[in-house]
Chains A and B, each alone.
Chain A
Amino acid sequence: QSVLTQPPSVSAAPGQKVTISCSGSSSNIGDNYVSWYQHLPGTAPKLLIYDTYKRPSGIPDRFSGSKSGTSATLGITGLQTGDEADYYCGTWDSSLSANVFGTGTKVTVL
């Protein structure tokens, strides 16, 4: 049972924007950085965002991260068919002394 809650799915047409929420608590998101991953079936997860809003080299600025209180958000603008994947948030949980992931969100491009 994950301590971080995400919507099971979001969808939008090509070129549109989607946002994915990640809801936690004061012991995880509220007190720590958040990362986001893109996971395509049969491949390894890919880091999209770290330190809540930073993008690794090579990740386009269509992907953005933010946080407010105990919730974080991943935004994807200019949606492309190649963005269809599962997306996970992740953070450290100070109470559990463990890294934790969100429940995952499937993005569908209509």
Chain B
Amino acid sequence: QVQLVQSGAEVKKPGASVRVSCKASGYTFTSYYMHWVRQAPGQGLEWTGVINPSAGTTSYAQKFQGRVTMTRDTSTSTVYMELTSLRSEDTAVYYCARDQEVSLPTEAFDIWGQGTMVTVSS
């Protein structure tokens, strides 16, 4: 079945970096854009950016420009999100989410990973 499996929880100190992985299975990896969405404790959903797994091109929310990098490995059908210069406000659950449309980025995400808790604390 179609699924996204993310890496496990991380605890990082302020100023450090974190890399979260998201392994896709059950569909053609390169056919669907992949988004990253986060949810801080008690807060709503926040879009961080999107990667085209076919071309490797990316688009990031302005808030994260310069701190976030999304990459992919087509040989393992895995996308990665790295966030640098971590601060306490980055404490959140990070989700990867597949776009529902083939070969186009849209506003709708139909398959989600289970989420990865990233805690930033000294």
Contact of A37 with B by CB under 8 A: yes
Max chain B Cβ within 10 angstroms of own Cβ: one of A47, A51, A92: A47
* CB-based contact B108/A98 at 8 Å: no
* CB-based contact B45/A35 at 8 Å: no
Partner of B62, one of A37, A92, A98: A98
Chain B nearest Cβ from A46, distance in angstroms: 8
The 6 listed contacts between A and B (C-beta, < 8 Å) are: A2-B44, A44-B95, A90-B107, A92-B106, A99-B61, A100-B47
CA–CA, A32 and B110, complex, Å:
18
Contact of B114 with A by CB under 8 A: yes
Which A residue sits closest to B63, measured CB to CB?
A98
Binds B, one of A15-23, A75-83, A101-109: A101-109
* CB-based contact B59/A97 at 8 Å: yes
| Interface size of A as a range | 20 to 34
* CB-based contact B110/A56 at 8 Å: yes
Given contacts A50-B106, A56-B100, contact A99 B112 (CB under 8 A): no
Which B residue sits closest to A50, measured CB to CB?
B108
* CB-based contact B107/A104 at 8 Å: no
Interface residues of A (CB under 8 A from B): 2, 32-35, 37, 39, 44-47, 50-51, 56, 88, 90-92, 96-104
List the A side residues contacting B45 at CB < 8 Å: 37, 39, 45, 88, 90, 101, 104
* CB-based contact A47/B100 at 8 Å: yes
Contact residues, B8-32 vs A (CB, 8 A): none
* CB-based contact A47/B95 at 8 Å: no
* CB-based contact A47/B110 at 8 Å: yes
Contact of B46 with A by CB under 8 A: yes
Given contacts A44-B114, A45-B112, A99-B35, contact A32 B44 (CB under 8 A): no
Max chain B Cβ within 10 angstroms of own Cβ: one of A51, A96, A99: A99
8 A-B pairs with the lowest CB-CB distances in the bound complex, closest first: A50-B108, A44-B112, A99-B47, A35-B108, A101-B45, A104-B44, A98-B61, A92-B107
